[in-house]
C-alpha cells in the first residue's frame, strides 16, 4: 500500500470509484460534492479513502485500501513506489500509461481550442534509460540519506533502487552515500546530480561543502574507483573541478560537444533520438534553419549536416560548448551562434524570415514572446519541442492565430511513470 500523509482518521473511510487520471497524475472520483483527488489510483479502481480539504476548494484523499482494482492497474516494480515522489504512475498498465500521456496533451490542446489536432502514438522511453538523476543528500541522526523527496513533502526517501534510471547510475547510489557521509553536516543538505554523459558519469555536488585536502582526496579516489568522468563541487556560485579524469561530453551525430557540469541534456537517449527523428523529417528540404533555445547543440549539430543552422541560446556556458563542438568539425554546413535572452529579445520578423524552418525548444515557461514574433513571420515550418503541454498549447494558439496549421503532435515521454509529459509538434504556414 502506498504511503502518504494520512489525515486524522475519524469515523469510517469513504468508498469511491476512480473515473479518470488528472493532469498531476492523481486518480479523480466525481462525487456529488465535486471532484476528489486520490493519489496512486487507476481508472476503474474502487477504493476506501480518508478525506481532507485540498487547495482551492478541492477535496483530497489518502488511500486506505484498494477494494477492487480497475483493469488499468499493474503491479509497480519499485519498492519505493508510493513514498518516493518520482514515479506516481508506476501502478498503471503500459496501455493505460500511454493513454494518460496522450490525454494529457489532448486536454491541454482542448483548453486552447485545438482539441481536433491529430496526436500521434506516444514515444515512451523504457525503464533503465534515464541518464540524469537529481538527488538530495542529508545527514540525519539515523545516518546519511540519498534519494528523492517524498511526494508533496520535504521528507527525503533513501533510495536503494530506481528502475527508471540507467543501471550505471543506480549502482553508484550505495558507494556515493558512503563518500557523502564525510561531506555532510547535520544542518545542511546537498544537491547531487549524476549525469551519464557519453564520456562517463559526471558527479555534481551543490551546496555548502568544506573541502579540505582529505575530503578532496576521498572524492578523487571515489572517482577513480568507480571510473567517473568527473567530480565537480558547486559552492556559493564557485565551480570547483575536484577531479576531471575525462571531460564530460555528449555525442550528437558524429560531433562531440563538451557538457558543462549540470548543463541541459535530454533526459534519455531514446527520447532525444525520437525528437531528432521528428525534427529531421519535418525540416527536410530546408537549407537554412534556426534552432532557438539550442543548448549545447543537441539538434543544431545533427541538423548542420544538411542545412546551415543559426543556434540561439541564453546560457553562456552552453554557447561556448557549442562553439567548441563546431570549431574544427569539417563535415558541417555553416553554424552561426547567438548568445541571447529570447524572453527579452526574441528574434523578430525580419530576422526570422530568412529561415526555411525554425526549431524551438524553450524551458517549461514556454516562449510566448518568441512565438508572437514567429506567428507574424513567413517561416514555412516551425517545429516546437516542449516539456510542458500547458505552455505549449498556449503558444501553439498564438501560431495558429497567426496563420499556421498545427499538422500533428507527437508526445515524447522521457519521464516514465511521472505526470511530466513532453512532445514535439509540426506547424506549417498556410496563410
Residues annotated catalytic, as ranges = 387
152 annotated as ligand-binding: no
272 annotated as ligand-binding: no
Instruction: Find, among 127, 109, 119, 113, the residue nearest to 23 by Cα.
Output: 109
Closest contact distance (angstroms) between CB of 187 and ligand SAM is: 31
Closest contact distance (angstroms) between CB of 72 and ligand SAM is: 31
Q: How many CB atoms lie within 10 A of CB 105?
A: 25
CB nearer to ligand SAM: pick between 54 and 419: 419
Paired sense of beta strands 59-68 and 34-38, if any: parallel
Paired sense of beta strands 357-360 and 381-386, if any: parallel
CB nearer to ligand SAM: pick between 39 and 411: 411
Residue 376, sorted as left (phi over 0), alpha (psi -120 to 50) or beta, turns out to be alpha
Closest contact distance (angstroms) between CB of 318 and ligand SAM is: 5
For residue 348, the SS3 value is coil
Closest contact distance (angstroms) between CB of 314 and ligand SAM is: 3
- Site residues (vs ligand SAM, CB under 6 A): 264, 266, 293-295, 298-299, 313-315, 318, 341-343, 361-363, 387
Residue 342 has φ and ψ, to the nearest 5°, of: -80, -10
CB nearer to ligand SAM: pick between 1 and 365: 365
266 annotated as ligand-binding: yes
Residues 6+ apart with CB under 8 A from 7: 50, 51, 52, 62
Please state, in angstroms and rounded to a whole number, the distance separating the CA atoms of residues 125 and 387.
14
Rg (CA), the chain: 23
313 annotated as ligand-binding: yes
Closest contact distance (angstroms) between CB of 384 and ligand SAM is: 11
| 303, 291 contact by CB (below 8 A) | yes
Cell matching residue 121:
502514438
| 250, 198 contact by CB (below 8 A) | yes
CB nearer to ligand SAM: pick between 315 and 428: 315
| 72, 81 contact by CB (below 8 A) | no
Closest contact distance (angstroms) between CB of 426 and ligand SAM is: 16
CA 407, chain centre distance (Å): 24
Cell matching residue 215:
575530503
End-to-end CA distance of the chain: 55
Cell matching residue 159:
533510495
CB nearer to ligand SAM: pick between 95 and 341: 341
| 43, 91 contact by CB (below 8 A) | no
Q: How many CB atoms lie within 10 A of CB 96?
A: 19
CB nearer to ligand SAM: pick between 367 and 379: 367
Please state, in angstroms and rounded to a whole number, the distance separating the CA atoms of residues 384 and 396.
9
Residues annotated within a binding site: 266, 293, 313, 361
Residues annotated within a binding site for S-adenosyl-L-methionine: 266, 293, 313, 361
Amino acid at each position: 500500500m502506498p504511503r502518504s500523509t494520512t489525515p486524522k482518521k475519524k469515523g469510517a473511510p469513504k468508498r469511491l470509484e476512480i473515473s479518470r487520471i488528472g493532469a498531476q497524475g492523481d486518480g479523480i472520483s466525481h462525487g456529488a460534492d465535486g471532484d476528489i483527488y486520490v493519489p496512486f489510483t487507476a481508472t476503474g479502481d474502487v477504493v476506501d479513502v480518508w478525506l481532507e480539504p485540498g487547495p482551492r476548494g478541492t477535496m483530497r484523499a489518502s488511500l486506505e485500501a484498494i477494494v477492487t482494482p480497475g483493469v488499468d492497474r499493474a503491479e509497480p516494480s519499485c519498492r519505493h513506489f508510493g513514498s518516493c515522489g518520482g514515479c506516481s504512475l508506476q501502478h498503471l498498465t503500459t496501455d493505460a500509461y500511454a493513454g494518460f500521456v496522450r490525454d494529457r496533451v489532448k486536454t491541454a490542446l482542448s483548453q486552447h481550442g485545438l482539441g481536433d489536432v491529430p496526436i500521434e502514438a506516444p514515444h515512451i522511453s523504457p525503464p533503465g534509460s534515464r541518464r540524469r538523476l537529481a538527488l538530495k543528500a542529508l545527514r540525519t541522526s539515523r545516518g546519511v540519506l540519498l534519494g528523492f523527496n517524498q511526494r508533496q513533502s520535504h521528507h527525503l526517501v533513501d533510495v536503494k533502487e530506481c528502475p527508471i534510471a540507467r543501471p550505471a547510475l543506480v549502482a553508484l547510489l550505495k558507494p556515493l552515500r558512503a563518500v557523502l557521509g564525510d561531506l555532510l553536516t547535520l544542518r545542511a543538505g546537498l544537491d547531487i546530480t549524476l549525469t551519464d554523459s557519453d564520456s562517463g558519469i559526471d558527479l555534481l555536488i551543490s551546496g555548502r561543502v568544506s573541502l579540505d585536502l582529505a575530503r578532496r582526496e576521498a572524492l578523487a579516489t571515489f572517482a577513480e574507483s568507480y571510473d567517473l568522468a568527473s567530480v565537480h563541487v558547486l559552492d556559493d556560485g564557485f565551480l570547483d573541478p575536484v577531479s576531471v579524469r575525462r571531460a564530460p561530453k555528449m555525442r550528437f551525430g558524429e560531433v562531440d560537444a563538451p557538457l558543462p557540469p549540470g548543463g541541459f541534456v535530454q533526459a534519455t537517449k531514446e527520447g532525444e533520438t525520437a525528437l531528432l527523428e521528428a525534427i529531421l523529417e519535418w525540416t527536410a528540404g530546408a537549407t537554412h534553419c534556426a534552432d532557438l533555445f539550442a543548448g549545447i547543440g543537441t539538434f543544431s549539430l545533427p541538423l548542420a549536416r544538411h542545412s546551415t543552422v543559426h543556434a540561439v541560446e541564453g546560457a553562456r556556458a552552453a554557447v561556448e560548448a557549442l562553439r567548441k563542438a563546431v570549431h574544427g568539425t569539417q563535415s558541417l554546413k555553416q553554424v552561426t551562434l547567438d548568445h541571447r535572452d529570447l524572453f527579452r529579445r526574441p528574434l523578430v520578423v525580419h530576422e526570422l524570415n530568412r529561415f526555411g524552418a525554425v526549431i524551438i525548444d524553450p524551458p517549461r515557461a514556454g516562449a510566448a514572446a518568441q512565438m508572437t514574433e514567429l506567428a507574424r513571420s513567413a517561416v514555412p515550418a516551425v517545429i516546437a519541442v516542449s516539456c510542458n503541454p500547458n505552455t505549449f498549447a498556449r503558444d501553439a494558439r498564438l501560431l495558429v492565430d497567426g496563420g499556421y496549421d498545427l499538422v500533428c503532435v507527437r508526445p515524447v515521454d522521457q519521464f516514465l511513470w511521472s505526470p511530466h509529459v513532453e512532445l514535439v509538434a509540426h506547424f506549417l504556414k498556410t496563410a
